[in-house]
Structure 1
Amino acid sequence: MKKLVLAIGMAIMSSGTQAVTTLGLDADCNSNGTFLGLVAFNSGTYVRCDLPTPIAVNDTVVLAKNSATLGLPIVWTLPGIVEVGNGNAQNSDPATVDNTELSIEAGTQIAGAVVSQSALVISRGSTIKAVGTALDPIVFSSLDNNFNGSGEWGGLVLAGFAESNQCPSVAGLDTCVQEGVNANFYYGGGKFLNTASSGTLEYVVVAEGGSTVAPDSEINGITFYAVSSATTVNNIHVHNNQDDGVEFFGGNVGVNRLWLTCNEDDSVDWDEGYRGSLTDINLVQDDGGAGLGADHAFELASNPNNPAALPQASGTVTNVSISYVGSSSLPDVPFKLKEGTNASFTNVVIGSGYNTLNCDNIDATSSATFSLMGYGCTSSVLPASSATATGFTQASFWSAPACD
């Protein structure tokens, strides 16, 4: 893949291994994008800068919050599938793959500009450093002036070399392809690196995503493909995604403090032997404004083709509040476990919107342990409802619009 390096800054990063690289396309975009003029966005005037595709520079590329020359905030737009690095290629070798880091300043806005195909994909071997703050989060959305839509762009994708029970364990035999993104983008692989980091996501919002690429092929708000526990993911909010809020395909990455609001399919989905931990989660389900009913709060599987495939999924979930705010139909059961998954749930409160439903649907190939549960739905497997269950009710760092 051709390197997109036109000018290289001399400032060396603290790690001593990478320089700050500028792509040299236009000074109004601080040399990392194509200047497309000023746009009304997010209730203000922004500089619009298209990101190049792909970005494979083997160095660090910085996306700034503001234009240094124009003194205005930047909205970095995704003109299609923006691929960071070249590790999506089949049979990529971890030893030789591109190691680009995309570093995003706190408060930066990133917007999908193409409804059917715009997404940010961090490929195997590359990393993202998206570190916002509670008062200045990094926000991904569509390119309009609100956060009320869904399916208006794709989503954020991280891919790694960690283990997936769907992928072969022999090097050079990549077969796992990212769904809904690109039929030629691969993840996992025969050199399972369960300790290789895909970077850091902190105080990040992903809104209005989940565009449909093909029938039954949408993009999740954030998708983690074989991402390892060396990756840091804290304080994340996914809102109004047309597909799942977050989905994990194998790997063992953990998430701490997660808000999922108004997502139109499942809120949390894991597959392919996922073995990470999810802690402090607040889920708000609704009916999508169309009387269709929310899907599951948790739809969990191990391997859809072979429930006995190893390693079996065995994620842990701790401190959860689940509520349903729809008015025209009933949601699906909160817990749907299938195809060989194991799961552990501790300190979960299920709101009154589920009181007329079963709490769970667990198939014969799967198992779960539940402790400290507060609920009014019906179950033969949950322990007695406990008034001491507290869930996770803390308000998000980002003010999401109300569900439709």
Structure 2
Amino acid sequence: MKKTILSVSLMALASMSHAVTDLALDEECNFNGTWDQVSEGPVLCELPLSIVEDDTVVLAKEVADGDYEGEQIIWTLPGIVVVGNGNIQNADPSTVDNTVLQIEAGAQIAGAVDSASALIISRGAQIDAQGTANDPIIFSSLDAGYDGSGEWGGLVVAGFGESNACPSGAISGGQMGDVCTMEGVASAAYFGSGHLSAPNAMSSGTLEYVVIAEGGHVISDGNEINGLTLYAVSSTTTINNIHVQGNADDGVEFFGGNVGISNMWMACNEDDSVDWDLGYQGVLSNVNIKQNDGAGYGLELANNPDNANALPRSKGIVSNMSIDFVGSTAPAASGIPFDLKQGTDGMFTNVVIGAGYDSPVKCMRTDSAVTGGSHWSVIEYGCDATHAGPTAWNLPASNSSATGFTASTFWAAAPSCP
């Protein structure tokens, strides 16, 4: 039987308008998953494909009571698990489901190895994943160790924020023309503005001390999925201390929105570490990137592939970043630090490009840029700054006073790049 707990202390963990409820599933899984124990070890609890409760659902680190009380839980993804119902077309932010998926510090979420699985937080829903430096929340595949890649999908968060790929004309009911769909997930998974008056007002929750490892499995249409994908997510969302490891696609990609991230480690991802487009305007601070053999660009940054001058124009701000190539062979032309294209703007301050990218490696590739303003401030590099492309992107002289961001990751179990 479904239980609703109305204690003030539990309600405060999510918001004052939410109670903590359960999904009326198996007791061994705190009633929030289906028990799938096949051998000794952690309790395996499979999540349902849809979680729509309009309340807070807690994924705990351990079993609360019963025969397995105190045992570790691994929450497994049987496929694409969607939280909330904001993925439907023309979802109304005033009536959309507001489920909060709360993940306790130290909890683990896993996709089966070689699984087309992912966790999607749809528009209007929230994720409340607050780990700690000593007890992070870990997303990975369901096998031993964390040194794989492409073994499951990834974490996807969608918001009602702005994307320059969506039309701005109103349709009936005060809604925007809702045509932006997620790539590689499902043809009917929508994101972006659904309300004319406040497109960036709704929070998608909190990610704090979260690890996303071994992802990038092909989900649909031959598309891999990023470690962390942020679709039109608002700056009212909090994301700090994120480590993305060994993803077969990008480490993190922003499709519009203006959410920022502080303290981010992108390690050994097999395509780009950071990718933004469709009008992204957030702030990335304290960024550490390590690219390996065969990887893509360190940062692949665009405005809009179909309209380079679409508004709002992508203009992310990156401050305090260290980026280096740690592979055994020189990076290919598609594996240089910066790819700036399709009308993006951007500002970069206190950046150190490591010795793995020293000349003759090019510092960047450009195909277009907006002019005016200072794009670069205090950057140290040994790569080749000459390139074909707009003069607006030319680097200033290398500045040895740059410090970048060299702090070690909070994740003690982080593997080395293969």
Q: Same fold (TM over 0.5)?
A: yes
Correspondence for 1:78:
77
Matched, 1:8 2:4: yes
Contact 2:303 2:343 (8 Å CA) reproduced:
yes
Name the amino acid aligned to 1:271.
D
Contact 2:113 2:143 (8 Å CA) reproduced:
no
Larger CA deviation: 109-118 vs 332-341: 109-118
Name the amino acid aligned to 2:166.
C
Contact 1:222 1:246 (8 Å CA) reproduced:
yes
**Where do residues 5-404 of structure 1 align in structure 2 (5 Å cutoff)?**
6-12=2-8, 13-14=11-12, 15-37=15-37, 39=39, 45-69=41-65, 70=68, 71-113=70-112, 115-169=114-168, 170=170, 171-191=175-195, 193-214=199-220, 217-287=223-293, 293-331=294-332, 332-355=335-358, 356-366=360-370, 369-380=375-386, 381-399=394-412, 400-404=414-418
Cα drift, residue 172 of structure 1: 4.8
Correspondence for 2:391:
none
Q: Counterparts of 1:197 and 1:36 in 2: how far apart (Å)?
A: 33
Q: Counterparts of 1:214 and 1:39 in 2: how far apart (Å)?
A: 31
Give the secondary structure class of the aligned counterpart of 1:17.
coil
Q: Counterparts of 1:249 and 1:216 in 2: how far apart (Å)?
A: 19
Q: Deviations over 1:268-327 (max 9, x none)?
A: 00010000000000001001xxxxx22111100011100011110011000011111111
Give the secondary structure class of the aligned counterpart of 1:217.
coil
Give the secondary structure class of the aligned counterpart of 1:117.
coil
Name the amino acid aligned to 1:348.
V
Name the amino acid aligned to 1:91.
N
Contiguous gaps of at least 5 residues in structure 1: 288-292
Quick check: which one's strand share is greater?
Answer: 1
Cα drift, residue 9 of structure 1: 2.4
Aligned CA distance change for structure 1 residues 214 and 20 (closer, same or farther; 3 Å)? closer
Larger CA deviation: 209-218 vs 95-104: 209-218
Q: Counterparts of 1:172 and 1:386 in 2: how far apart (Å)?
A: 46
Contact 1:157 1:224 (8 Å CA) reproduced:
yes
Name the amino acid aligned to 1:89.
I
Q: Counterparts of 2:263 and 2:7 in 1: how far apart (Å)?
A: 34
Q: Deviations over 1:229-274 (max 9, x none)?
A: 0000000000000000000000000000000000000000001000
Q: Counterparts of 2:203 and 2:288 in 1: how far apart (Å)?
A: 26
Cα drift, residue 227 of structure 1: 0.1
Give the secondary structure class of the aligned counterpart of 1:353.
helix
Contact 1:338 1:366 (8 Å CA) reproduced:
no
Q: Counterparts of 2:199 and 2:39 in 1: how far apart (Å)?
A: 42
Larger CA deviation: 31-40 vs 226-235: 31-40
Cα drift, residue 361 of structure 1: 1.2
Q: Counterparts of 1:229 and 1:249 in 2: how far apart (Å)?
A: 13
Cα drift, residue 360 of structure 1: 1.1
Give the secondary structure class of the aligned counterpart of 1:87.
coil
Cα drift, residue 186 of structure 1: 0.3
TM-score normalised by length of structure 1: 0.94
TM-score normalised by length of structure 2: 0.91
Contiguous gaps of at least 5 residues in structure 2: 387-393
Residues paired across the two proteins, number: 391
Q: Counterparts of 1:38 and 1:132 in 2: how far apart (Å)?
A: 28
Q: Counterparts of 2:308 and 2:36 in 1: how far apart (Å)?
A: 50
Larger CA deviation: 367-376 vs 77-86: 367-376
Q: Counterparts of 2:60 and 2:85 in 1: how far apart (Å)?
A: 23
Q: Counterparts of 1:172 and 1:163 in 2: how far apart (Å)?
A: 11
Q: Counterparts of 1:55 and 1:124 in 2: how far apart (Å)?
A: 13
Give the secondary structure class of the aligned counterpart of 1:269.
strand
Cα drift, residue 180 of structure 1: 1.1
Q: Counterparts of 1:296 and 1:379 in 2: how far apart (Å)?
A: 15
Tell me how large the CA RMSD over aligned residues is: 1.5
Cα drift, residue 328 of structure 1: 3.2
